[in-house]
A and B are shown apart, each in its own frame.
Chain A
Amino acid sequence: MIGKILKKLDDKFLKGEPRTGELFAVAALFDTPDQIIHAAEKVSGAGYKKFDVLTPYPVHGMDGAMNLKPTGIGWVGLIAGMSGTFLAFLMIWWMVGINYPNIFGGKPYFNLPASIPIMFELTVLLSALTLVGSLIALFMKLPANANPLMDTDFVKRVTSDKFGIYIEAKDPKFKLEEVRTMFEGLGSTSVSNIHEAEYDLGDTKNPLLNGKFIGALLGTSVAVVGITYFVLNVLLFLPPFDWMHRQPKVLPQTESKFFKDGFSMRKPVEGTVARGFMPYEFKGMPDSLVVITPNPLPVTQKVLDLGKKRYDSYCSPCHGFYGKGDSRLRGQFPVPPTLHSVKVTNWKDANIYHVITNGQNTMPSYASSISRDDRWAIIHYLRVLQRSANAPDSDLETK
């Protein structure tokens, strides 16, 4: 079985493609580096352009002999490296200086000295990867396994122990006999004609619509999605990955088996008062008994902004963003009346404060979740909403 597979692979890869195509190039092998340098000088001197020298290792002085321009790939490395420095700088500066400022060790949010190691590393990383990527893909145009030279005896020698040169048939000055006699005259041990290989590429009209290709694509995407789903939704909830979740602790809203009363959350000891806590003196009293105190906060942009923020998060789910009673709770909770009613408009701030602090019928108390100042700020903002919904015509008059 395995023997059969190996045999098949041998047949496929060792034989190579049939060489029936047009003449691609004439190639010559030489034995010594001196000869190949001489040959390269001759060929480039004779004005051939589409030729190349193949050697098992870089031969000193060959670039000059072939008349090649110096390589510019160093610039690629330089530019990529500098972009690496700059991108790293930008990344750190934005992440810790702008997007999520956080104090570490009492240092400035963004501090340059601490960023230099990473800037350096990314300089090297980007430079090296870009260099290698562009070397392979742009400068050498590899992978090039379909090159007609592949699998010829010519290439099999030049990757080992001989020095080769070839001139392509496409070169404007190419004349078969002339080239062959020139190579022989230079002392070549073997001159050969290399033909294009005939690749059986099948129906290549639109490779994107190829059934196998589409199948592979679909298969891969299904596999990737499946694996991702499995890892994130199943695997990470299996032991040992979930052992950090399984802790002997009580979660909110769960029954306690430890305490007699079954509550997990404990009440403070009778009579204790939290630091900075001021009991609300009208707790549980009807509206009429509330002593009217003025709103202690000034009406400033800052207070209104704070009020809007708190209103939008604490009140708007039930009362709507504009206080019109357009609840977003879709009937899961009784829809409250509009806050633009005459009653609420004419209420003093202290009455509204009373509702927020104490609750009213179905509306629960917000005393524990919203601080006192925030409650007063919400009231200022609520006044803005009421005013904007019932703006008098006089507001339109220009002053």
Chain B
Amino acid sequence: MSLDATYTREIPLVEGKTSFREIDDVIARPTETKPNIKWFIAIGISSTALLIGAVCLGLTFWYGVGLWGNNQPVGWAFDIINFVFWIGIGHAGTLISAILFLFRQKWRTGIARFAEGMTIFAVMTAGIFPAIHTGRPWLDGYLFPYPNQHGLWVNFTSPLLWDVFAVSTYFTVSFVFWFIGLIPDFATLRDRTTSGIKKAIYTALSLGWRGSNRHWQHYERVYLILAGLSTPLVLSVHTIVSFDFAVSVIPGWHTTIFPPYFVAGAIFSGFGMVSTVLIIVRKVFDMEHIITVNTLEKMNKILLATGTIVGYAYAMEFFIAWYSGNPIEQFTFINRAFGPYSWAYWIMFSCNVFFPQLFWFKKIRRSIPITFVLVLLVNVGMWFERYVIIVTSLTRDYLPSSWGMYFPTMYDFGILLGSFGMFFTLVLLFAKTMPVVAMSEIKAVTEGAQPSHKHKHE
């Protein structure tokens, strides 16, 4: 406890022991007060981006995916790049809320709720891309096996179908996990609020929660099991995403290293995004003392570890290409590093492997501005990782006669921008309307929150 509860000790209100009321006051403040100018600036920017994306998407609906740069031989481009990118972002949230929970990492408490929210928004954003890349998104119902007028079922041997199941399960489970965690906090807000309409909303959302220990007993068990279920789930989701590539026969994709490599990359990029958002949000909502430098430092350590794993995977891909003796594989990797897309490759490599190594230094880990720059670079690098994997392999596969180049159009960029806009708009709305830190969880880990004397069953 001494080590983990540092963030709460930093609430500089009452000496030694923090009062629960003050925790509520701080966390509930955004939901109870008018937002400040910083919030309006932030949401102004994000909703503008969202609007640009919406316009590009609307034009795509009208004229079709021919507006995009996709063409032979690159049939998959920004759509799938953005999908994999955003799904990966989501994984950090589950990692923080479920895996760190199972490992009893109490420092997660300050950021878990937030990270879970980000998971949900990232998966929502990601979900747009497979839906729109079909060209006629209003027919996406066919992705699910239901008894239709054609008497046909879906292809259960296709990784793309596994993706449909994995992503929809992931979204559903993350959502209920998040909601279950929110119930006690909704009850707290319900009992605090002085506005009738908010009371009505929070009453409905809190389901009449009253903090009964006869409820907590089952609740805690379910929370634990959900964490246990989410852990293999999150690993399975990105494994299956990597199968989309690995199960095909395209050089550079058809490798067994893909599942672990993708999972590590997902966690890496997700932590990059969580840090980015947290740094912005703690500024916008003045929560520097709840989302502390200590927490960010721990996240930076995870970034360092996963970034190194990703670097190892890059190196191992090269090694295996050489070791396999397969000339096509070998060509693919040399082409990645030195071919027409080498600029993308080296952006990816430096952002993901070189720069995060700076986190070996404690000074840098604890410096917010430098961390902010580095995590932005991680976001960029991880987006380019998917770009490199997808575009270099598709532009130059087997027969040189079928090679080609890929050029994105402004609609591709617009939709990419819109996805960031959607994500950040949702994050900002979430931070304004719901408790971004789990009040009930954080109270439980403050000093003196648990009985001091040992009990019979412990």
B197 near A9 with CB under 8 A, answer: yes
Query: Which residue, of A52, A131, A239, has the highest number of chain B Cβ atoms within 10 A?
Result: A131
Interface contacts beyond A33-B452, A104-B155, A139-B218: sample of 12 additional A-B pairs, CB < 8 Å, sorted by A: A13-B200, A33-B448, A55-B213, A56-B211, A56-B440, A57-B443, A100-B153, A121-B233, A124-B233, A132-B222, A159-B209, A241-B136
A64: chain B residues within 8 A (beta carbon): 455-457
Which of B145, B188, B197 contacts A56 (CB under 8 A)?
Answer: B188
A160 to B450: give the CA distance in the assembly, Å.
Answer: 15
A-B contact pairs, 13 of them (CB 8 A): A33-B450, A37-B455, A55-B213, A64-B457, A73-B225, A121-B162, A124-B233, A140-B214, A156-B191, A161-B19, A239-B62, A240-B64, A244-B136
A136 near B449 with CB under 8 A, answer: no
Which of A32, A73, A145 contacts B203 (CB under 8 A)?
Answer: A145
Closest CB-CB distance, A371 to chain B, in whole Å?
24
Which of A8, A52, A104, A125 contacts B213 (CB under 8 A)?
Answer: A52
B165 near A54 with CB under 8 A, answer: no
A68: chain B residues within 8 A (beta carbon): 213-214, 217
Residue A267 CB within 8 A of the other chain: no
B156 near A115 with CB under 8 A, answer: yes
Residue A280 CB within 8 A of the other chain: no
Chain B residue with Cβ nearest A108: B157
Residue B110 CB within 8 A of the other chain: no
Residue B96 CB within 8 A of the other chain: no
The 6 nearest A-B residue pairs measured at CB:
A10-B196, A9-B196, A161-B20, A61-B455, A144-B208, A57-B444
A271: chain B residues within 8 A (beta carbon): none
Residue B104 CB within 8 A of the other chain: no
Which of B24, B166, B192, B217 contacts A121 (CB under 8 A)?
Answer: B166
Chain B residue with Cβ nearest A100: B153
Query: Which residue, of A100, A118, A160, has the highest number of chain B Cβ atoms within 10 A?
Result: A160
Residue B210 CB within 8 A of the other chain: yes
Chain A binder among B172-180, B271-279, B326-334: B172-180
Residue B229 CB within 8 A of the other chain: yes
Chain A positions 57-102 with a Cβ under 8 Å from a chain B Cβ? 57-66, 68, 71, 73-74, 77, 81, 91-92, 95-96, 99-100, 102
A127: chain B residues within 8 A (beta carbon): 225, 229
B213 near A59 with CB under 8 A, answer: yes
Chain A positions 1-38 with a Cβ under 8 Å from a chain B Cβ? 6, 8-14, 32-34, 37
Residue B255 CB within 8 A of the other chain: no
Residue B138 CB within 8 A of the other chain: yes
A132: chain B residues within 8 A (beta carbon): 176, 179-180, 222, 226
Given A57-B441, A125-B172, residue A140 in contact with residue B219 (CB < 8 A) = yes
Given A136-B207, A144-B208, residue A77 in contact with residue B196 (CB < 8 A) = no
Which of B19, B21, B218 contacts A135 (CB under 8 A)?
Answer: B218
Q: Which of under 10, 10 to 19, 20 to 34, or 35 or more describes the interface residues of A?
A: 35 or more
Given A37-B455, A117-B166, A240-B61, residue A128 in contact with residue B173 (CB < 8 A) = yes
Given A104-B155, A124-B229, A160-B191, residue A34 in contact with residue B453 (CB < 8 A) = yes
A128 near B176 with CB under 8 A, answer: yes
Closest CB-CB distance, A207 to chain B, in whole Å?
19
Which of A55, A117, A128, A160 contacts B192 (CB under 8 A)?
Answer: A160
Closest CB-CB distance, A10 to chain B, in whole Å?
4
Chain B residue with Cβ nearest A151: B191
B180: chain A residues within 8 A (beta carbon): 132, 135
Given A9-B200, A124-B229, residue A55 in contact with residue B216 (CB < 8 A) = yes
A159 to B190: give the CA distance in the assembly, Å.
Answer: 9
A104 to B151: give the CA distance in the assembly, Å.
Answer: 17
B199 near A14 with CB under 8 A, answer: yes
Chain B positions 160-199 with a Cβ under 8 Å from a chain A Cβ? 161-162, 165-166, 169, 172-173, 176-177, 179-180, 184, 187-188, 190-192, 194-197, 199
B64: chain A residues within 8 A (beta carbon): 240, 243
Residue B400 CB within 8 A of the other chain: no
Chain B residue with Cβ nearest A95: B153
Closest CB-CB distance, A141 to chain B, in whole Å?
9
Residue B34 CB within 8 A of the other chain: no
B219: chain A residues within 8 A (beta carbon): 58, 135, 140
Chain B residue with Cβ nearest A144: B208
B458 near A60 with CB under 8 A, answer: yes
A111: chain B residues within 8 A (beta carbon): 157
User: Which B residues have a C-beta under 8 Å from some C-beta of A?
Assistant: 19-21, 24, 61-64, 136, 138, 145, 151-153, 155-159, 161-162, 165-166, 169, 172-173, 176-177, 179-180, 184, 187-188, 190-192, 194-197, 199-200, 203, 207-222, 225-226, 229, 232-233, 236, 240, 243, 439-441, 443-444, 448-453, 455-458
Which of B208, B232, B240 contacts A142 (CB under 8 A)?
Answer: B208
Residue A379 CB within 8 A of the other chain: no
A57 to B209: give the CA distance in the assembly, Å.
Answer: 12
User: Which A residues have a C-beta under 8 Å from some C-beta of B?
Assistant: 6, 8-14, 32-34, 37, 40, 52-66, 68, 71, 73-74, 77, 81, 91-92, 95-96, 99-100, 102, 104-105, 107, 111, 114-115, 117-118, 120-122, 124-125, 127-129, 131-132, 135-136, 139-140, 142-147, 149-150, 155-156, 158-161, 164, 236, 239-241, 243-244
B177: chain A residues within 8 A (beta carbon): 128
B221 near A74 with CB under 8 A, answer: yes
B199 near A117 with CB under 8 A, answer: no
B452: chain A residues within 8 A (beta carbon): 33-34
The B interface, classified by DSSP as helix, strand, loop or mixed, is helix
A240 to B138: give the CA distance in the assembly, Å.
Answer: 11
B156: chain A residues within 8 A (beta carbon): 92, 95-96, 114-115, 118
B62: chain A residues within 8 A (beta carbon): 239-240
B61: chain A residues within 8 A (beta carbon): 240
A124 near B210 with CB under 8 A, answer: no
Given A159-B191, A160-B188, residue A14 in contact with residue B196 (CB < 8 A) = yes
Closest CB-CB distance, A379 to chain B, in whole Å?
31
B192: chain A residues within 8 A (beta carbon): 156, 160
A40 to B451: give the CA distance in the assembly, Å.
Answer: 13
Which of B19, B155, B213, B233 contacts A53 (CB under 8 A)?
Answer: B213
Which of A9, A143, A241 contacts B207 (CB under 8 A)?
Answer: A143
Closest CB-CB distance, A49 to chain B, in whole Å?
12
B458 near A147 with CB under 8 A, answer: no
B153 near A73 with CB under 8 A, answer: no
A77 near B213 with CB under 8 A, answer: no
Chain B residue with Cβ nearest A240: B62
A58 to B450: give the CA distance in the assembly, Å.
Answer: 9
B449: chain A residues within 8 A (beta carbon): 33, 57
Which of B200, B216, B229, B243 contacts A58 (CB under 8 A)?
Answer: B216
Chain A residue with Cβ nearest B190: A159
Chain A residue with Cβ nearest B173: A128
A122: chain B residues within 8 A (beta carbon): 165, 169
A125 near B210 with CB under 8 A, answer: no
A136: chain B residues within 8 A (beta carbon): 207
A363 to B154: give the CA distance in the assembly, Å.
Answer: 42
A104 near B20 with CB under 8 A, answer: no
B218 near A147 with CB under 8 A, answer: no
A100 near B455 with CB under 8 A, answer: no
Chain A residue with Cβ nearest B60: A240
Chain A residue with Cβ nearest B192: A160
Chain A residue with Cβ nearest B240: A117
B208 near A34 with CB under 8 A, answer: no
Which of A37, A91, A125, A159 contacts B187 (CB under 8 A)?
Answer: A159
